[in-house]
Structure 1
Amino acid sequence: MKNLLLKILLLTTFTYFLQACSNGDNNQPNPSPLPGSKVQVAKIEEIIDGEDQVLKNLLNKVRGSVGKRGPGSKTIWSRKNDYDLGLYISANHVISINSWLSKNAEYFDITSEDMGIFETSKIPPVNGQVELENLWVADFPLMHFDISTSVTNSTILPAEDFYIGIVDNQRVEPGSLPQWPKPVDTGTPLKMYDPDNRTKAGQTWNTPNVGENAIALGYPQDVTNFPNGAVSYGKILSDEEAAVKITELQAAGDIEGDIPYNPHVEFFLDAQGVAGMSGGGVFNLEGQLLGIMVRASDAEKAPKIIRVVKVTYIKSKMLGYYNGLSQTGQEKLRPFISGEL
């Protein structure tokens, strides 16, 4: 019964067109090409076909890690686990907080509970083509952490707006009816586009360095202007600069100005977010994952910022939860997160 209930709840994401990462409308103007860091948002294919070889190389290193999940995005953190499967992070408001059976932290024993879903889950093709793979890939929610009982998809704060899942190698062609994968396939390593083995590196993630540039990647809901995903590029702000941005956002009447900045949880990227990029990854210039996008400013005259939940915070929550489990619980969870413990 638990399996069936969760599947029904997961499938409700079909009906959501959530405000993912940006609270504004989707009628964005056609973006200009992205010459270095001059323009803050661009189509993926514009960079791949452009002349900035450094940016192109960086994008190729990371873009296979970011896929779609419902109306938003998800980012494969690493494949460093016992099965070489994709350990991914996405935002709770992307999957919808109502998908969870409980607001209390929980994990799913995906080796015995068939918690997977195909619908709305895609990753880039193994051959590196720009277009998203035409097949749905199996998606298994693995764990989420405590969520306040009163929050909604639009009011959830960055400190609670993330969960962790697994992508395995099961794929199907899109169909008119829901299709459920078999229990997670631990016998076949995930095949994905990862030409530099970023997801198997000694350290797949890092802490953000103030003043450095970072690249943000996700899949906007505006598929007319961004049919194959979007790239945003900007500077990592200091805590002092983020505080100034909050004041400016308040003055501009942007909702992000009403949300306190939490330096333990997040950092601000001085860049533009587009609805649907939530759950997408933010990477440093070495291609290491710094965090996932969860919110962005939207008011017309407001400064452009993206709120990014730090991988360091996500990892601390994962470790705290894991260490609090019984030995049996740890044994069930460990094989999927072993490389990031």
Structure 2
Amino acid sequence: MQAKTVLSVLLIIFGTSFQSCKQNNPIVPRSDLHVPKIEEILNGNDQNLINLLNKVRGSVGRRGAVSKTIWSRKNDYGLGLYISANHVYNISGWNSRNAQFFDLSSENLGIFETSQIPPINGSIALGNTLIADFPLMHFNISSGATNKTLLPIEDFYLGIIDNQRAEQGPLPKYPELIKTSAPLQLYDPENRTRANQTWNTSIAGEKVIAVGYPQDETNYPNGAVAYGKILSDTEAAQAIQKLKSAGDAEGDIAYNSSAEFFVEAQAIAGMSGGGVFNSDGQLLGIMVRASDNENAPKIIRVVKMSYIISTMKDFYNSLSETVKSKIRPFISGEI
């Protein structure tokens, strides 16, 4: 089985109001369909979509050739707690497949290489500035899984971003030990990452926006955005059957309603780890897989925030108080 580790969800119904758009997604991808860039939407006429995109886009950045999403800055230090996909990090980079955390007060797994977030002034161009990226914890990974076969239930990890920055140049570059003295400077004009509720649960039929950075940097140097409908569990199960009939590998993976939801949309490679947000700008989950057979329905698998948080809490609660005290300052606002 070959997974379609995605993702940049790029839906084809660009042009109608985010709040009132109707789904009419083609099943077969066509070369004449337009995949909107972030700048095209910001320069467009849909003010609702522009406002929502501005609310969330500053928290989605690059991690290698793919994406990561800053979930929250509600921790003791005001640093960026982010989520990305395990296959983005590369599971061979973890020294254990068992859930583990990293003591950022003494352990430095940080890197600058290929780590970027939008500038704090709101510019859409990422520019040449790299930002420090520190893995914080990952969760259990099955023994037989590979980067291409990870299921949504195990395809996510958490990390932290601080204010250390470096200009691109000879790589690799490594930051100093994490800096906790100042909150992360982030383009977040409505303080989405500090809101009382930074995330929410998905609702069937809800229109959502998805943001990420395709691997095709030539055509999408500043990222891409899409919006589409969340499928109900019944619709998702029906989509699985259609995917199977079309010969798409996603049809061989059962739909897991406790861990994921489907968005009816097309995806472009490179957007795994990109965020899916509701109309209030709350994070609903991250993208991890998508269909890619030309004759198959266009669906994107999104790991639910509720599942990520439940997994995080279960792991955290299994630890000793001494160990908890090392993690708590970084996740304190979300536990």
Aligned residue identity for 1:194: D
Aligned pair partner of 1:35 in 4, 10, 16: 16
2:327 aligned residue: 333
Deviation at 1:133, TM superposition (A): 3.9
Q: Distance in 1 between matches of 2:284 and 2:13?
A: 26
CA contact (8 A) 1:34 1:42 kept: no
Identity of aligned residues (%): 64
Q: Distance in 2 between matches of 1:58 and 1:288?
A: 10
Question: Structure 1 residue 21 and structure 2 residue 6: aligned?
Answer: yes
Q: Distance in 1 between matches of 2:257 and 2:137?
A: 24
5+ long unaligned stretches in structure 1: 1-17
Within a 5 Å distance, the mapping from 1:1-341 to structure 2 comes to: 20-21=5-6, 34-36=15-17, 37=21, 41-341=35-335
Deviation at 1:253, TM superposition (A): 1.0
Partner SS, residue 36 of structure 2: strand
Q: Return the TM-score normalized by structure 2.
A: 0.92
**1:94-146: CA deviation from partner (whole Å, max 9, x where unpaired):** 01111101000000001111111110100001000111142110000000000
Deviation at 1:195, TM superposition (A): 0.2
CA contact (8 A) 1:123 1:133 kept: no
Q: Return the TM-score normalized by structure 1.
A: 0.90
Q: Distance in 2 between matches of 1:34 and 1:217?
A: 16
Q: Distance in 2 between matches of 1:218 and 1:191?
A: 20
5+ long unaligned stretches in structure 2: 26-34
CA contact (8 A) 2:212 2:225 kept: yes
Deviation at 1:33, TM superposition (A): 5.4
Alignment RMSD (CA, Å): 1.9
Q: Distance in 2 between matches of 1:83 and 1:90?
A: 20
Q: Distance in 2 between matches of 1:310 and 1:133?
A: 31
CA contact (8 A) 1:34 1:46 kept: no
Q: Distance in 1 between matches of 2:128 and 2:297?
A: 36
Deviation at 1:93, TM superposition (A): 0.3
Q: Distance in 2 between matches of 1:136 and 1:251?
A: 44
- Specify which structure has the bigger relative contact order, considering alpha-carbon pairs within 8 angstroms and separated by 6 or more residues: 2
